[in-house]
Amino acid sequence: MTIMKQQLESETLVVTSSDHYMFINRKGEERPFLTQQAELNRRPFIHPIVAPDGKGVLTEDAPAHHPWQHGLYVGLNDVNGYGFWTEGVSNAPTDGSFHPAPLMNISLSGNEVCWTVRSSWREPGGELLLIEEQNWCLKDLGSTYELDMSWTLKAEKDLSFGQYAYGGLFLRMPYRHEQGGVFLNSEGHTPQEADGERARWAAIHMPIEGRQGHAGMAIFDHAGNPEYPSPWRVDGELGISPSRCIAGSWRLNKGESHLAQYRIVIYHGTLDANEIEKKWLSYIGG
């Protein structure tokens, strides 16, 4: 049983949390529209995220085609030769492990909620490789949510990050081949053209169980990020990820940090490329 230890309320939102879970509700609604999970010795992730009109869940947890994927999450494939992607599900002997601390810095002001997820990443023998920190802020804008992320990796020893076809922040929505979905990016690519190519943003919307019509999410790359505009992973089930590691290997010396920033826009219905571009320009201050 999860014992809630804290509740915060504003005029519009309620935030309830324990050491390892946080739930955000609109006031007067029983169902959380966003849940942060950070269980002991597991990869932290955000799931479920409910559409802003309350109809349908836009994230998917552990689909059969990729059982190590969990809604909105982070992973990497080659950190000093160790994997932080399949989290042991594939029984790879080189898989490292995630160790989240209790959720931190939870605050609520009006329609904005902020929190921090800090995790230790350890190699299979238990040695600490890095400290990961995800700083999140969500704004409830009614018809959309804006979810900002600052992602920091601090090296606890000299680290080498290998080139790989995917890795970093990743979004898994409940795509079904028989129903399809729509992919958009800043360069006008199809999903097949977009995989491995650079773009300022990418978005997907699709039919969602429990609602009429589509709902979707867009991820914005920040102009200050390494390798901006990032290359992207776009997989066969429309999973998307801005991924520095596609561009090549990189290093952090002990004590150095990597910082990347993103915005995720969560919406119901559809947005066209011009609408998304305007929102991206607003994000980067254009």
pLDDT at residue number 94: 95
pLDDT at 246: 98
Which amino acid, one-letter code, is at 213?
A: G
Question: Model's pTM, two decimal places?
Answer: 0.97
* 104-128: pLDDT as tens digits: 999 999 999 999 999 999 999 999 9
Q: Provide the phi-psi class of 285: left if phi over 0, else alpha when psi is between -120 and 50, else beta.
A: left
Number of neighbours of residue 283 by Cβ within 10 angstroms: 20
Sorted by where each begins, the domain ranges of the chain are 48-284
With beta carbons less than 8 A apart as the criterion, state whether 272 and 185 touch.
no
The predicted structure's pLDDT at residue 164: 98
Q: Give me the residues of the chain with pLDDT under 50, please.
A: none
pLDDT, tens only, 32-52: 999 999 999 999 999 999 999
Per the document, the length of the chain is 286
